[in-house]
Amino acid sequence: MSMNIRKIIEEGRYDGIVGKTTKKIMSHLKRNESDFEFTITPIKDRPINTKIIVHWNDEEEIGVQGWMDLNQDILTLEIWMDSRYMKTNFNFLSGQIQDAVMHEIQHIAQHSYKERESEGLYGDQGYDGLEYYTAPFEVDAWVRGLYKQAKYFKKPLINVFKMMVQHLDLEEKDKPVLLKTWIDYAEKNLPKAQLSENMIKNIIKEEMGRTKRYQGCSHFTDPNANQLCRKISGLRAWLHRDLGMRGVIDEMLKDLKVVQNMTEKYQEPLKILHDTGKYPEIKLVNGTYTHKRLVDAGLVLDENGEYDYVNKLNTNYSDLAELITELLVKGGKVNQLADKNEIGIKRYLESIKPVLFRLVSKYFKPEELKQFVRNTVGLTKMGDEAEDYAGEVLERYGMNQLYQGGNGDFIDMMFGADLIMNYEGRTITCQVKSSERQAVNASNSNQYRKIDYFISPINNMNGIVIYNREGKSFRMDNSGKIQN
C-alpha cells in the first residue's frame, strides 16, 4: 500500500478531506435540509457514499452519531439539531460533525492499509463493551479523533478523554481501563499531546473511585438479551421521538396520573422567575402567580403519595430500551434480532411501530411499567448529588440560594432551572448536570435558552465548571474561589 495511506494512518492527517466534508454538510444544514448524500474519496480509488440523516427538533440536545459500512463503503451520519438555534450552535455542531467524520475515515484508512490488518488494527467488529473499545482498530480511531477534537475546542486531551469515557455505555469498573488504554496509546503515538503524569494519575484515581450505579441492561443475564438491549439503547432519543415510545408510555400511564392544581405549591419560585422579566408565560392574576401547566398537572404518584420515577420513563432511552427488550423477550424475538446491527434493529422496530401500544398493553399492566426505572433512579441520585454540591460551592463564592427543586420539580421540568441563586441583587438561574459534557450540550440546547449558567462538578466533587450561553467557561474550586 502507498506511503500516502501510511502517513494518513500514522499521523492522522485528515484535515483536508474532513474539513471539506464538514463544510459540505454544514452548507446543507444551513438550508434546513433533512436527508442528503454525496460522495467523498478519502483514499485514492475508493469512493465513499456519505449519507446524512437530520432530525430537526425544538427539544433535543445537539447530537451526532456516525457509523461506517466497510463492506458497501457507506458512511452514515445521524444529526439532531434545532434550526432556530443554528447560528449560536454552528461552531459546536461543526466540531461534533468533524469528530464523527474523522473517526469513520480512520476506519476506512485502516481497512485500506493491509499492513495494519496484520497488526490487528482492523478486524471483525463483533465485540461488545470493553472488548470493543479496547480493540486496536477502535483505540486508534477514538484517540486520533479525540485528539483532533481537543485541538479544535482548545481543551486538554486528558479532559476530552475523561468526558468521553463517562459518556460511553460501559461498566464503571471498565472505564478506568479504557481511559488508561487511550492515554498509553496517545503517549506512544501522539508525542505532541503533552499529557501530565500527575494529572493522569489523579484522573485515573478519580475514575476508579466513582460511585457505582446501575449499569444499563445488566438486568438481562441472557447474553443475547443483554446484547440486544445495549444495541437498542444505542438508538437513544430515536426511541421516544421517532419510534413513538413517548406517546405509548403517556397513553399507558394516563389512568394512573393524579391531576392536581400545583399553583399554590410553587408561588415562591414563580414570583422569583416572573420578576426577572424573562418569563411572560408566568401570569400574576389577583395576587397569585400562575402557569397553565400547573393548573391541571398530572403525575403518577408512588405508594407514599410522592413523585414516582415512572414519570420519566417516556424519555429515558436506557429504561425504554429495557422495556422494549423485555417486550421482545416475551414475544420470542430476541434470538432473531440479537446479531443484527443497529440499522437492522431500527428497521424491525419501525415495522412494529403501528402496533407498539397494543403490544405493550398486551404484555404489561400500567402498574408494571414502574419496574422499568433502574437507570432513571441511578441518574436521578447522581443529579441530586450534583445539584446539592453545586449549590454549596456557589454559596461559598458568595451567592445566596433562593430555590432548589429536586426530583419531580415542575420548575425544573417547565423552565430548566435546578437552582435559582441571587448575587448582588441579580437573579441567576442554573441548570446542573452530572458531567461537563452534559453541561456543554445543555448550554447549546434551545430547551434551556433562558438559563444563565450550566454547571457540573469536576475532579470528583472537588470544584465545579460553569458555562454560559456563549460557550465561555470558568472554574471554581471547592472553596468557591474562581480558578484562572
pLDDT in tens, 98-120: 878 877 777 666 555 444 443 44
- Highest average pLDDT, of 13-27, 32-46, 159-173, 320-334, comes from 320-334
Domain covering 376-483 assigned CATH 3.40.1350 in the classification: yes
Per-residue pLDDT band for 125 (boundaries 50, 70, 90) equals very low
- Look at 394 and 156; give whichever has higher pLDDT: 394
Comparison of pLDDT for 183 and 85, the residue scoring more: 183
Burial (CB count <10 Å: 0-12, 13-18, 19+), residue 216 = buried
- pLDDT for position 469: 87
Rounded CA separation 225/227 (Å): 5
Which pLDDT does position 12 carry in this prediction?
43
pLDDT tens, 50-82? Answer: 898 888 766 555 678 788 777 788 888 888 776
Please, is 156 exposed, middle or buried when counting C-beta atoms within 10 Å of its C-beta (0-12, 13-18, 19+)? middle
pLDDT digits (tens, 9 = 90+) for 277-297: 999 999 999 999 999 999 988
Distance of CA 175 to the CA centre of its chain: 16
What would the grid cell of residue 159 be?
A: 479532559
Percent with pLDDT over 70 in the chain: 81
Residue 367 clears pLDDT 80, i.e. is over it: yes
Report the pLDDT averaged over residues 385-412: 92
Quick one: which H or E segment has residue 399? none
What's the mean per-residue pLDDT of the chain? 83
Between the CA of residue 95 and those of 136, 159, 359, what are the distances in Å? 25, 16, 41
Nearest to 455 by CA among 436, 477, 441: 436
Mean pLDDT of the region 122-149: 71
Give yes or no for residue 86 having a pLDDT over 70: no
What are 329-362's pLDDT values in tens digits? Answer: 999 999 999 999 889 999 999 999 999 999 999 9
Q: Return d(Cα 200, Cα 314) in angstroms, integer.
A: 39
Q: What is the arithmetic mean of pLDDT over 406-419? A: 92
Local confidence band at 211 (pLDDT 50, 70, 90 cut-offs)? very low
The confidence band for 140, taking pLDDT boundaries of 50, 70 and 90, is confident
Tell me the mean pLDDT in the region 223-232.
94
Per-residue pLDDT, 167: 64
Q: pLDDT-based confidence at 254, cuts 50/70/90?
A: very high
Alpha helices in 113-237 (DSSP H): 114-118, 129-133, 136-153, 157-167, 175-189, 197-208, 223-233
* pLDDT (average), residues 154-176: 76
Largest CA distance in the chain: 79
When pLDDT is cut at 50, 70 and 90, the band that residue 176 belongs to is confident
Question: Are residues 428 and 452 in contact, defined by beta-carbon separation less than 8 angstroms?
Answer: yes
Inform me whether the pLDDT recorded for 186 exceeds 60.
yes
Burial class (CB in 10 A: 0-12, 13-18, 19+), 260: middle
Residue limits of CATH 3.40.1350 in the chain: 376-483
| pLDDT, greater one: 246 or 65 | 246
pLDDT value of residue 80: 79
The pLDDT score that the predictor gives to residue 209 is 47
Query: Which residue has better confidence, 330 or 1?
Result: 330
Lowest mean pLDDT among 47-61, 84-98, 136-150, 259-273: 84-98
At 170 the pLDDT is: 78
Taking residues 221-234, report their average pLDDT.
Answer: 93
Q: How far is Cα 13 from Cα 403, in angstroms, rounded to an integer? A: 50
Q: What value does the mean pLDDT take over residues 184-189? A: 83
Tens of pLDDT, residues 440-464: 989 988 889 999 999 999 877 789 9
DSSP 297-335: EEEEB-TTSSBPGGGGGGG-HHHHHHHHHHHHHHTT-HH
* Whether the predicted pLDDT of 200 surpasses 60: no
The x, y and z cell numbers of residue 280, run together, are 411572560
Of the candidates 441, 417, 440, the one whose C-alpha atom is nearest the C-alpha of residue 427 is 417
The yes-or-no verdict on residue 251 having pLDDT over 60 is yes
Say what the pLDDT of residue 473 is. 92
Q: How confident is the model at residue 5 (pLDDT cuts 50, 70, 90)?
A: very low
